[in-house]
Structure 1
C-alpha cells in the first residue's frame, strides 16, 4: 500500500497535466500518454548517452515537452478549438499515432528501462520498507505539484488560466489573450507529463505502445477526481495508485487495471461528476 501511495505522486502529476489542458481548452488530449513515453525515452537517452540521472534529467524532459506542447497547440490544436468534438478527437488521435510510430521507428519495439542506483536502494522507516527510487520520485512529484498550485493561484498567468477555464468569453472581454493562455496551458500540461515520464522511467519498463495504457490511466484518474479539477487529479492519482497496488497484492498483478476501473464505476455511481467535479480549475 505504501509503495502504491509513493507511486501515486507520479500518477497525480500525470493526471494534473491532462486536467489542466481540458480545464482551460475543453480539448481531450488523447496524445497525453504518448507524450509521456517520449519523456521516458528522453530520460533514457540522457542516462545512456550523457550519464544524466533521470532524477536530474526530468528538468530537461519537462522543458522539451513544454516547447513541444506549445508548438502542437499553436500549429494544430488551436485550429480546431471551436470545431466539433469529433474533429478534436480525430486530430488528437492522429497526433498520438504519429508520436507512437515515430518512437517505434526511432527506438524500436524492445522494452527499455533506465538504470539508476536509487532504484536499487532501500531504507527502513519504522516498520515500513521503502524503495528509495519511489520515495524520491514521490517527493519530487509532490514538490512539482505544489509549485504548479502556486503558479495557478499566485501568478497572473495562472489566474488568467483559471479565468479562461471558468469562462473563456468573459476572460476575453476583460482583455485576456485567450489564445496565448491556451497555448501556455497546453505547454504546462505537456511539461507536467514530461516530468512525470522522466521520473517514472527508472521504475517501469516502457516501449512505444505504453502510451495507450498511460493515456487510459490518466483518463481514469481525471474522471474519478472530476474533469477540470487540479485537486481532483491529485487526489484521484493517489487513490488509483493505492487501489492498483492493493489489487496487485490481493488479487493478481495483471488485474490491477480492473480494480481501478471498478473503482471508477463505483465513484461515478455515487458522484457522477467525480469527487471534485466542477467547471473551474
Structure 2
C-alpha cells in the first residue's frame, strides 16, 4: 500500500473511532434537548462521574473497566431521572430560562465532589489491553479505541430500537414533537422527560467508562467534553439524533486529520474552526431544519 494512502487511512480510522465516542456523548445531549428543549451544561461532568466510578471500582474491587458498564449505566440513568424529577421539573414554566444556571450549578457540584473525593491529580488505570494494537489491512487499530467504537455502536442501536420499536419510544417521540398532544393521548410527559434525562446522563456515564482506558481522569475533564458535546449537537442540528452521530464522526475526523497534517498542538482548535464555519454557512446545522418566522 502507498505510504501516504496508508497514513491517510490510519488517521481517518483513528479519527472515526474517536468521533464515535464524541457521537455517544452528543447523542445524550441531543436527546435531552430534542424532548425537553434544555441544554445540559453538566453533561460532561456526568461523563467525568462515569470515569471516576470506573476508577473507583477498578481500584477497590479490581473490576475490569468494561464490566463497570453494568454499574455505570443503571446508576447514570437513576441519577438523571432523580435530577429531572426532583430538581429541574420544579422550575416549571421557567425551565427554558433557568435550566442553564441549574445545570451549570449541578456541574459545579459534581466536579467539586470529585475533587474532594479523588483529588486534583490526573489518574488512570493500568490494564493489559490499554496500549495493545492489532493490524488490519496494514492499518494499526487500538484495541481500547475499537472496543469504545463497538460500545458506541451498540448504544446507538439500542437507543434506535427503544425509540422505534417500543411503546416507550413512541411516547418519547410524541413528547418531543408535541407535548400537549401527547398528554391528551394519555402520555405522562413529566415521567417521559425524567426518563429521557436519565437516558442522556446514562449515555454520558457510558462514554466516561469507555474513555477511561484511553485518557486520564481528573475532576474538570467534563468541561472539555461538555464543549465537544455541544459542538457535535450543533453540527448535526439541535435535537437531531442522526445528525449528532454524523457530527461526532465529523468532529473526530477533523481533529485527527488536523493533528496529523498540521500540528497536534491545536487538536481542539480544528473542531472549533469547523464548528464556526458550519454556523456561518448553515446556522441550523448539517441536518437541522430552518424554521421560518411569520
Q: Structure 2 length normalisation: TM-score?
A: 0.92
- For the residue of structure 2 that corresponds to 1:124, the secondary structure is strand
Conserved in 2, the CA contact under 8 Å of 1:27 and 1:81?
no
Conserved in 2, the CA contact under 8 Å of 1:227 and 1:278?
no
Which among 201, 205, 208 is matched to residue 219 of structure 2? 208
Q: Do structure 1's residue 224 and structure 2's residue 230 form an aligned pair?
A: no
Tell me the distance in 2 between the aligned counterparts of 1:72 and 1:53. Answer: 28
Aligned ranges for residues 48-59 of structure 1 at < 5 Å? 48-59=59-70
Which among 138, 153, 159 is matched to residue 170 of structure 2? 159
Q: Do structure 1's residue 67 and structure 2's residue 88 form an aligned pair?
A: no
- 1:176 paired residue number: 187
- 1:115 paired residue number: 126
Q: Do structure 1's residue 245 and structure 2's residue 256 form an aligned pair?
A: yes
Tell me the distance in 1 between the aligned counterparts of 2:74 and 2:240. Answer: 24
Which among 126, 129, 144 is matched to residue 133 of structure 1? 144
Which among 178, 182, 196 is matched to residue 185 of structure 1? 196
1:49 and 1:211, CA in 2 relative to 1: closer, same or farther beyond 3 A?
Answer: same
1:278 and 1:157, CA in 2 relative to 1: closer, same or farther beyond 3 A?
Answer: farther
Cα RMSD, aligned residues only: 1.3
Moved over 3 A (4+): none
Residue 84 of structure 1 deviates from its aligned partner by 5.7
Aligned ranges for residues 30-41 of structure 1 at < 5 Å? 30-41=41-52
- For the residue of structure 1 that corresponds to 2:148, the secondary structure is helix
Unpaired segments of 5 or more residues in structure 2? 1-11
Aligned pairs, how many?
279
- For the residue of structure 1 that corresponds to 2:134, the secondary structure is strand
Unpaired segments of 5 or more residues in structure 1? none
Tell me the distance in 2 between the aligned counterparts of 1:143 and 1:18. Answer: 18
Residue 85 of structure 1 deviates from its aligned partner by 3.5
1:142 and 1:81, CA in 2 relative to 1: closer, same or farther beyond 3 A?
Answer: farther
Conserved in 2, the CA contact under 8 Å of 1:33 and 1:215?
yes
Conserved in 2, the CA contact under 8 Å of 1:43 and 1:114?
no
Residue 6 of structure 1 deviates from its aligned partner by 1.1
- 1:89 paired residue number: 100
- 2:8 paired residue number: none
Conserved in 1, the CA contact under 8 Å of 2:19 and 2:249?
yes
Conserved in 2, the CA contact under 8 Å of 1:28 and 1:89?
yes
- For the residue of structure 2 that corresponds to 1:164, the secondary structure is helix
Tell me the distance in 2 between the aligned counterparts of 1:253 and 1:81. Answer: 45
Tell me the distance in 1 between the aligned counterparts of 2:288 and 2:126. Answer: 39
Tell me the distance in 1 between the aligned counterparts of 2:270 and 2:196. Answer: 31
